[in-house]
């Protein structure tokens, strides 16, 4: 059965990019059963290092979690134990044994809760995109340069939106080119290193369904080369 249940639970859709699986879904916590499934199939190592693009840290402390790493067990945890605000899935994933070190690009650095140690692993983040990033610590740089095993490349579409007064506005092509253009080569490197690519819509954080659709169309065609 695998992750088939996520079609109904989380609007899962499947694509391919450079022979890599691309999984598009709605709410971020549901990436964890996708990771568990990929690990069971040998597509990703367990635990897996993560390169993430997200406007939020998603690094809150979860409540008690069962740590059942089967796909069914992780789905159950997402239903019953993880926050429906999708703000604790990273720490939960590390504590469950699914995720290792995580580096987040585009994160709002005013949140002030990174870097964060979770057991032997760490969550790191910078507001800058890869093509504009400055000096990094040794551990953070190790995550970005990791080539010994496949990584998880995870994208939250709200990374490509910005808040203005009481609105959230999706990047248009000109903003996309100026903000992300220098990072295209680095992003392609992350695609090459990825065992799995996951994309979370989280339309509410993008400013609505229309904005999420606009960002996905731009992101999927310009960065993944998909015809959606």
Paired sense of beta strands 116-118 and 121-126, if any: antiparallel
Q: Express as a percent the part of the chain with pLDDT over 70.
A: 97
DSSP secondary structure of the chain: -TTTHHHHHH--EEEEETTEEEEEESSGGGHHHHHHHHHHTTSS-SSEEEEEE-SS---PPP-------SHHHHHHHHHHTS-TTS-SHHHHHHHHTSEEEEEEES--GGG---SEEETTEEEEEESS-GGG-----HHHHHHHH--SS-EEEEEEGGGGEEEETTEEEE--HHHHHHHHGGGHHHHHHHHHHEEEEEEE--HHHHTSHHHHHHHHHHHHHHTS----
pLDDT above 90 (res 51): yes
Confidence at residue 150, expressed as pLDDT on a 0 to 100 scale: 97
Confidence at residue 165, expressed as pLDDT on a 0 to 100 scale: 87
pLDDT above 90 (res 109): no
Confidence at residue 227, expressed as pLDDT on a 0 to 100 scale: 77
Q: Name the residue with higher pLDDT: 215 or 228.
A: 215
Burial level of 97, CB count in 10 A (0-12/13-18/19+)?
A: middle
> What is the end-to-end Cα distance of the chain in Å, rounded?
26
Write the pLDDT tens digit of every residue in 166-190: 899 999 999 998 888 899 999 999 9
Confidence at residue 48, expressed as pLDDT on a 0 to 100 scale: 98
pLDDT above 70 (res 16): yes
- φ/ψ of 178, rounded to 5, equals -75, -40
Q: In the structure, what pLDDT confidence band is assigned to residue 112 with cuts at 50, 70 and 90? A: low
pLDDT (average), residues 194-208: 95
Confidence at residue 24, expressed as pLDDT on a 0 to 100 scale: 98
> And the tokens for 104?
């987040």
Confidence at residue 20, expressed as pLDDT on a 0 to 100 scale: 94
Paired sense of beta strands 161-164 and 167-170, if any: antiparallel
Confidence at residue 110, expressed as pLDDT on a 0 to 100 scale: 62
pLDDT above 90 (res 108): no
Write the pLDDT tens digit of every residue in 113-126: 789 999 999 999 98
Confidence at residue 6, expressed as pLDDT on a 0 to 100 scale: 97
Angle, CA 104 vertex, CA 98 and CA 110 arms, to 5°? 130
Task: Quote the CA–CA distance of 222 and 181 in Å, as a whole number.
Answer: 10
Task: Quote the CA–CA distance of 15 and 9 in Å, as a whole number.
Answer: 18
- Mean residue pLDDT of the chain comes to 93
Task: Quote the CA–CA distance of 130 and 86 in Å, as a whole number.
Answer: 24
């Amino acid at each position: 059965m695998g992750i088939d249940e996520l079609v109904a639970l989380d609007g899962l859709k499947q694509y391919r990019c450079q022979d890599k699986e691309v999984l598009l879904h709605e709410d971020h916590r549901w990436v964890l059963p996708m990771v568990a499934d990929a690990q069971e199939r040998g597509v990703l190592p367990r635990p897996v290092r993560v390169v993430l693009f997200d406007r939020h840290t998603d690094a809150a402390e979860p409540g008690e979690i069962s740590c059942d790493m089967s796909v069914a067990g992780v789905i159950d945890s997402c239903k019953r134990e993880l926050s429906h605000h999708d703000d604790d899935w990273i720490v939960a994933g590390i504590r469950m044994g699914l995720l290792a070190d995580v580096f987040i690009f585009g994160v709002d650095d005013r949140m002030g809760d990174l870097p964060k140690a979770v057991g032997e692993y760490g969550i790191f983040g910078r507001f800058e995109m890869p093509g504009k990033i400055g000096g990094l610590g040794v551990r953070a740089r190790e995550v970005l340069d990791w080539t010994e095993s496949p990584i998880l490349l995870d994208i939250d579409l709200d990374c490509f939106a910005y808040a203005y007064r009481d609105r959230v506005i999706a990047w248009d092509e000109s903003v996309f080119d100026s903000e992300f253009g220098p990072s295209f080569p680095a992003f392609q490197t992350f695609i090459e290193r990825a065992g799995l690519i996951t994309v979370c819509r989280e339309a509410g954080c993008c400013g609505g369904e229309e904005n999420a659709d606009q960002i996905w169309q731009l992101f999927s065609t310009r960065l993944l080369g998909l015809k959606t």
